[in-house]
Amino acid sequence: MDDTKHPAPAVAPVTADPWAGLRQFTDARIALGRCGSSLPLAESLRFRLDHARARDAVLAPFRREEIAARLAGAGIPCLELDSAVADRNEYLTRPDKGRTLRPDSATLLQAQPAGFDLCLVIADGLSSLAIHENAVPFARAFLTALAPSGLTVGPVCVVRHGRVAVADDIGALLQARLSVILIGERPGLSSPDSMGVYLTWNPRPGTTDEARNCISNVRRGGLPLIEGVRKLCYLVEEAFRMHGSGVGLKDRMPAGHLPFGRELQLPE
């Protein structure tokens, strides 16, 4: 075959972006450069990989038993619960069912002692990956920091197919004054492992979102775990001081804040 009759098509050179140096400071998709009028091939492939990782985070099975076993191994009592959702497909299409407990889980909670200051809930949400990586060390650090306060805490409730408002059902059944839920956030292309933390004063079914406070993007490449715990402790202190949460509870945490007057440390 004579190659001179069929020359290889010309390949447009990759044009670097002048802001490319800023990429060392962020995982955000900035300064990608271009090849002709399109993305360079390497960036196009990286986009597809990030998208696949985000889908995996949503669809990965929730290892609830493993989470419960790790908590129990640290001496933390916990309960394994289900929302009213039947499977992952229904979870994605029926948000209302993810906000309520399945009847047998509600019955299990009704049989527990009640009247706690605080209940802690862990739910897979939209990223099981985020919970697998962050929830147990976060819960251990938070409960350790909370201990000197004297506040009573119910058993940690680990919920499969849960959304934020499922903590309202749990808080009401445990008659808790404040609920805190750790939940996997909707994955971004650069953050499939992001965990959110919501707290709600006087949690009851029908509570609306303006009554909640949120700490977002707790993960290795986002808000460090220890700083997320510090922020949560501050908001808990303020919620009990003012007997409320949501739009009335502002984040005015001073630099170097000591949760409940103690140095904060992560468990081993």
Residue 31 lies in a domain: no
Residue 268 lies in a domain: no
Query: 214 a known binding residue?
Result: yes
pLDDT, tens only, 84-100:
999 999 999 999 999 99
Instruction: Report how far residue 268's alpha carbon sits from residue 266's, in angstroms, rounded to the nearest whole number.
Output: 7
pLDDT, tens only, 116-145:
999 999 999 999 999 999 999 999 999 999
**pTM for the full predicted model:** 0.90
Residue 18 lies in a domain: no
The set of residues, in sequence order, having a beta carbon less than 8 Å from that of 63 and lying 6+ positions away, is 128, 132
Q: Is residue 1's pLDDT more than 60? A: no
Query: 66 a known binding residue?
Result: no
Domains held by the chain: number? 1
Helices (H) and strands (E) in the chain, counts: 8, 8
Question: Tokens 């197919």 identify what position?
Answer: 161
Query: 227 a known binding residue?
Result: no
Residue 17 lies in a domain: no
Residue 3 lies in a domain: no
Residue 44 lies in a domain: no
* pLDDT on residue 4: 59
Output the domain CATH number for residue 97. Answer: 3.40.50.11240
Cβ 199 vs Cβ 212: under 8 Å: yes
Domain that holds residue 103: 59-260
